[in-house]
Amino acid sequence: MSATSPVPQVHVVDLEIGGMTCASCVARVEQRLGRLDGVAAEVNLATERARVVAPAATSVEELVAAVRAAGYDAAPVSDRSDDDSARPRDLERVRLVVAVVLAAIVLVLSMVPAVQFAGWQYWALALATPVVWWSGWPIHRAAARALRHGSLTMDTLVSLGSAVAWMWSAWQLALAFTTGGHLHAHLDAEVAAVVVAVVLVGRRIESRSRRSAGAAVTALAALSVRDVAVRIAGVEHRIPIERLRVGDRFVVRPGERVAADGTVVAGEAALDVSTLTGEPVPVEVGVGDAATAGSIAHGGVLEIEAEQVGADTRLAAIGRLVEQAQLGKGSAARLADRISAVFVPVVIGIALASFAGWMLAGASLEAAIGVAVSVLVIACPCALGLATPVAILAGTGRGARRGILITGPSALESAASVRTVLLDKTGTLTTGRLSLVAVQAAPDASEADVLALAASLEHGSEHPVARAITAAATEVQPVARAITAAAAEVQPVAVEAFRALPGSGVAGVVEGDDVLVGSPALLAERGIALPAPLAEAADAADGTLVAVA
C-alpha cells in the first residue's frame, strides 16, 4: 500500500478593485496578493476585477486587506451595487466638464494672441487652478497613495507633470508681481490644465468602453427569469427564482422562458433555443425530453422537473465562461504589465536627466524645466497597459452578444493563425431568425390565398415559424423572388375558434372555412393528402415545410 498526499483545498474569489488607473497598479495588486501563502491572482484593468485562487483557509477578508494594504479599494463582486458606483460617476462627470471647459479657455487665451489682454497670464493661471487641483484631485490622490506604498504609476507621471507645470507658472507670476518684473509671454498653465483634461477625457472614454463591452454578461443574465410558477400538490405558487430547488416542478407557458435545466414531465411545446445554440428552428419537446434554462416555450404549456438550478444551469455556465474570458490575460497583456512596472521610473529618470543636461549645457532654468515637463507629459497616456485588456474585453463581449463564446485571451491570440474552419453539421451558422423563402400553391389556388390563410391563423402566435409567415404576409416587398408581390401584400383577417396543436401546428376558422396550418404530418393524421405537385415540391424542398389546408 502507498500513501497518497491529500489534495489541497482551494477556493476562487472574484474581487472588484477600485482605484486602479494603469498597468503598474495591476502589477502592484497582483504582487501584494501573491505574497499571501498559496495565493495566485490575475487582475484585469479593463474590468477592474481580480480573480484570486487561494487556499480554503485564506478568508475573503484577508484578500481584501491585502489589496487595501497596496493602496487600493477592494470588495467581493457580489457586495457591490449599481447605486454605490453611480454617485462617484456623477462626480467624475462634473470634474470632467469643469476640466474640459476651463482648459479650453486657458488654451485659447494662451495660444491666440488676438484674444490676449493686459494681465491675461493671471487669468490663465486662475482658470487652470481648479482644473489641476480639483478636477485632477483623484489623479494626485492616487499618485500620493501609490508613492506612500512605495510604488510609481502612470498617475505619478500625470500628477508630477501637471503639478510642476502649474507651480512653475505660479512661481513666474509671483516673481513678476513681487519684483515688478516683466510678465512672461508664455506660461505653462495651459500645459497643466490641458494634460489633466485630456487624461480625464481619455479615462472617460475607457470607462464607457469597458461598460459597453461588459454588457455581454448583462445580456446573458437577462435571459434568466426573476420568478417561476412552481406546482406543489397540484396548486401553482409564484416564487422568486432563488427559491427554486432541485426536484421542484415548475410550469412554463407560451412566451415564457424556462427557469432551470430539467426534464419535461407533462405537456408538449416547441422550445426556441436560438439564444443559446443559434439554431433558428424550435425544438419540439414532450414528456421525457430535456429543457434548458433561457429557452422560450411556444405553442404549449410545459411542466418541468428542475435538475440544475441557479448557478448550476447551462445558461449560468455560459455567463461564467464569458466573465472568465474577460478577466483573463493574453501574452500581450502580460508583456504590457511587465513593461509598465519599470516604465514610470524610467520616464522620471529620463526627465531628470534631461533637466540636468540642459542646465549643464547652459540653458535657462525655465527652458530646462520645460524640457523635463515635456518628457513627463508625453509619457502620460496609459494606453500601454490598457489597450490590450480593453480590446480583449470588447472582443469577447461582442462575440457573446452575437452568440460566439470565447474561452479566453489565449483563444483569441490562437485564432490569428487559423486558416481553415471545419463545421460539424449544416445549419449551425445562422442569423437565428426564420424567413419565408417560397410559397407553392395547389393548381386550384393562388399564392396570395395560401399566404393569407396561413398568416391569418399564425397572426396571434409567438412561434418563430408563425412570425416568419406573418412577416412575409405584411411586408410591402416580397421576401424572396419565389414570392410574388401580390402574395407579399396580403393582410391577415380575423380568426374564430383558434387552437394550438402542440408539436404540430394551429387550427381555426377563417371566413367560414376550417383551416389547418402545420407540418405535413399533421395533414396526414387528418387524412389530407397533398396533391401531386405539392408532394413533389415538398420532396425537393430544403428547409422547414409548412402545409396549409
In this structure, the number of other CB atoms found within 10 A of the CB of residue 215 comes to: 15
User: Residue 53's beta-bridge partner residues?
Assistant: 12, 40
**Residue 394: which H helix or E strand, with range?**
helix 383-401
Q: Are 220 and 318 in contact (CB under 8 A)?
A: yes
Terminal alpha carbon distance of the chain: 75
Contacts of residue 70, Cβ cutoff 8 Å, sequence gap at least 6:
28, 29, 31, 32, 149, 151
Task: Determine whether 60 is exposed, middle or buried from the number of CB atoms within 10 Å of its CB (0-12, 13-18, 19+).
Answer: middle
349 φ/ψ angles, rounded to the nearest 5 degrees:
-65, -40
Q: Clarify whether 424 is annotated catalytic.
A: yes
For cell 416580397, the residue is 478
Dist CA 412 CA 410 (whole Å): 5
In this structure, the number of other CB atoms found within 10 A of the CB of residue 185 comes to: 9
Q: Are 385 and 26 in contact (CB under 8 A)?
A: yes
Dist CA 270 CA 274 (whole Å): 12
Reduce the secondary structure of 271-328 to three states and give it as a string.
EECHHHHCCCCCEEECCCCEECCCCEEECCCEEEEEEECHHHCHHHHHHHHHHHHHHC
Residue 280 is placed in which grid cell? 433558428
- Alpha helix segments (H runs only) across 328-382: 331-360, 365-378
Catalytic residue among 82, 424, 444, 542: 424
Give the pairing type, strands 40-44 and 49-55. Answer: antiparallel
In this structure, the number of other CB atoms found within 10 A of the CB of residue 276 comes to: 18
Q: Are 135 and 98 in contact (CB under 8 A)?
A: yes
Closest CA to 462 of 256, 159, 211, 319: 256
Q: Which amino acid is at 210?
A: R
User: Residue 272's beta-bridge partner residues?
Assistant: 296
Q: Tabulate helix, strand, coil % of the chain (nearest 5).
A: 50, 15, 35
- Half-sphere exposure of residue 360, counting CA atoms within 13 Å on the CB side? 6
The strand order across the sheet containing 302-308 reads: 235-240, 227-232, 249-252, 302-308, 261-266, 290-291
Active site residues: 424
